[in-house]
């Protein structure tokens, strides 16, 4: 494996971790209007992700920054190619990021409703559009010579990419619901509602994901360059998705969360496995495909990044795990003081 290959997989793993982590905090935001019936419950739900969401979000900044450093051509072509989608995602993330902090600053219902709507929409847009981005990544963009984007605004959206969006959105809702099962006090009514939500949204997520995979298989050749072993990923995703049902109905909450998380992870990895060794297929012709080799940075940069990555990635994972450990206890709805986001 060359260093360029290595960095492709580090980027794939960064996206996977990002979707795994921020997937559930998007999900909690999306479920809040559906599950919480009063201010206490809303606060408890925010409290489950309060200490974590900001650290989760950094994974996408890492993924993007890493693409910039290790595959500059990919970076320029992808971000320019689907510019409006990224602009939308960024605007949503802005609103969401400040909503957590600002919501608690003024004690008025109207003010809080405004920020609740902002953070809901701020989660809805990226949860859906990251799926659209992934679908476009699989399908490819009109990229011409030297990685120059030659298309226009049309056709980001077809059945395939919309299904990709729906699948991520629903998977994140499922993932958020199973996260709530772990984080909320078991005696609270909210906890029971989260289980119902997991079952309902999990069902829809299964349907959407299967449809996306099927369409990807027949229309986009999603698995065409998979060896037999690589089939393990989509199969494993299907198995984990199935095992969620067992876990939810038998109240094995830890397993449910693990399964929904693995589903998110396997789905993401499937996209990158399908992509490899390309980083961005061109719809204008194979000769324009950006690949790991032709889009990569010079060896010197890659070596440098590898050294830095080897030092810092374990450190980051270490203190993030510790962060989850410190705030491992379940959040209560009926406690006197409630948690805020920041």
Where does the chain have alpha helices with state H? 3-35, 39-49, 53-70, 72-81, 83-102, 109-139, 159-183, 189-218, 232-250, 253-275, 292-295, 299-326
Neighbours of 66 (CB within 10 A): 19
Nearest approach, Cβ of 174 to other proteins (angstroms)? 24
Q: Binding to other proteins (CB under 8 A): which residues in 7-66?
A: 37-40, 47, 50-52, 54-55, 57-58, 61-62, 64-66
Dist CA 255 CA 31 (whole Å): 20
Residue 119: both structure tokens together: 């953070």
Residue 221 interacting with other proteins (CB under 8 A) = no
Residue 76 interacting with other proteins (CB under 8 A) = yes
Task: For the chain, give the longest Cα–Cα distance.
Answer: 64
What does each C-alpha distance from 267 to 87, 167, 180 come to in angstroms? 24, 10, 21
Residues in a beta bridge with 184 = 331
Q: Return the range that interacts with other proteins (CB under 8 A); candidates 209-217, 257-265, 268-276, 324-332.
A: 324-332
DSSP 153: S
The phi and psi torsions of 184 (rounded to 5 degrees) equal: -95, 155
DSSP 103: T
Residue 207 interacting with other proteins (CB under 8 A) = no
Q: Binding to other proteins (CB under 8 A): which residues in 256-315?
A: 297-298, 300-301, 304-305, 308-309, 312-313
Q: Binding to other proteins (CB under 8 A): which residues in 152-181?
A: 152-153
Q: Return the range that interacts with other proteins (CB under 8 A); candidates 97-105, 194-202, 214-222, 277-285.
A: 97-105
Residue 87 interacting with other proteins (CB under 8 A) = yes
Q: Return the range that interacts with other proteins (CB under 8 A); candidates 23-31, 83-91, 123-131, 157-165.
A: 83-91
Site string for other proteins, 116-155 (x = CB under 8 A): ------------------------------xxxxx-xx--
Select 244 or 331, whichever has its Cβ closest to other proteins: 331
Give buried/exposed letters for 47-58 (b at 16+ CB in 10 A, else e): bbbbebbebbbb
Select 90 or 159, whichever has its Cβ closest to other proteins: 90
Q: Return the range that interacts with other proteins (CB under 8 A); candidates 89-97, 126-134, 218-226, 229-237.
A: 89-97
Residue 330 interacting with other proteins (CB under 8 A) = yes
7: Cα within 13 Å, side-chain hemisphere: 33
User: DSSP for 175-193?
Assistant: HHHHHHHHHB-TTSHHHHH
Select 79 or 232, whichever has its Cβ closest to other proteins: 79
Nearest approach, Cβ of 27 to other proteins (angstroms)? 19
Residue 211 interacting with other proteins (CB under 8 A) = no
The answer to whether 11 and 306 have CB atoms below 8 angstroms apart is no
Nearest approach, Cβ of 128 to other proteins (angstroms)? 18
Residue 320 interacting with other proteins (CB under 8 A) = yes
Nearest approach, Cβ of 204 to other proteins (angstroms)? 27
Nearest approach, Cβ of 237 to other proteins (angstroms)? 28
Q: Which of 64, 41, 76, 19 is nearest to 197 (CA)?
A: 41
């Amino acid at each position: 494996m060359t260093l360029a290959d290595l960095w492709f997989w580090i980027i794939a793993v960064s996206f996977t971790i990002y979707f795994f982590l921020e997937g559930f905090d998007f999900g909690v935001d999306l479920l809040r209007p559906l599950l919480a019936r009063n201010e206490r419950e809303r606060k408890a739900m925010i409290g489950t992700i309060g200490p974590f969401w900001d650290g989760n979000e950094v994974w996408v900044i890492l993924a993007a920054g890493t693409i910039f450093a290790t595959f500059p051509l990919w970076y320029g072509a992808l971000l320019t190619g689907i510019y409006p989608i990224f602009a939308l995602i960024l605007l949503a993330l802005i609103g969401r990021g400040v909503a957590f902090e600002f919501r608690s600053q003024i004690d008025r219902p109207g003010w809080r409703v405004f920020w609740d709507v902002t953070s809901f929409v701020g989660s809805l847009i990226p949860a859906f559009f990251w799926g659209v981005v992934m679908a476009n990544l699989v399908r490819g963009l009109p990229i011409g010579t030297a990685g120059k984007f030659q298309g226009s605004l049309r056709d980001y959206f077809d059945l395939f990419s919309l299904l990709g969006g729906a699948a991520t959105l629903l998977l994140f809702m499922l993932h958020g619901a199973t996260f709530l099962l772990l984080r909320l006090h078991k005696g609270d009514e909210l906890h029971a509602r989260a289980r119902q939500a997991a079952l309902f949204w999990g069902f829809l997520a299964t349907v959407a994901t299967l449809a996306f995979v099927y369409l990807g298989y027949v229309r986009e050749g999603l698995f065409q360059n998979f060896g037999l072993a690589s089939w393990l990923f989509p199969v494993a995703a299907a198995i984990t998705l199935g095992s969620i049902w067992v876990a939810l109905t038998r109240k094995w909450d830890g397993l449910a969360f693990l399964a929904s998380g693995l589903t998110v992870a396997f789905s993401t990895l499937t996209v990158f496995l399908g992509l490899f060794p390309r980083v961005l297929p061109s719809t204008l012709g194979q000769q324009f495909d950006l690949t790991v080799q032709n889009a990569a940075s010079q060896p010197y940069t890659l070596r440098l990044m590898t050294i830095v990555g080897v030092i810092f990635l374990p450190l980051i994972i270490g203190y993030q795990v510790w962060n989850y450990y410190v705030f491992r206890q379940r959040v209560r709805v009926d406690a006197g003081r409630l948690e805020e986001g920041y």
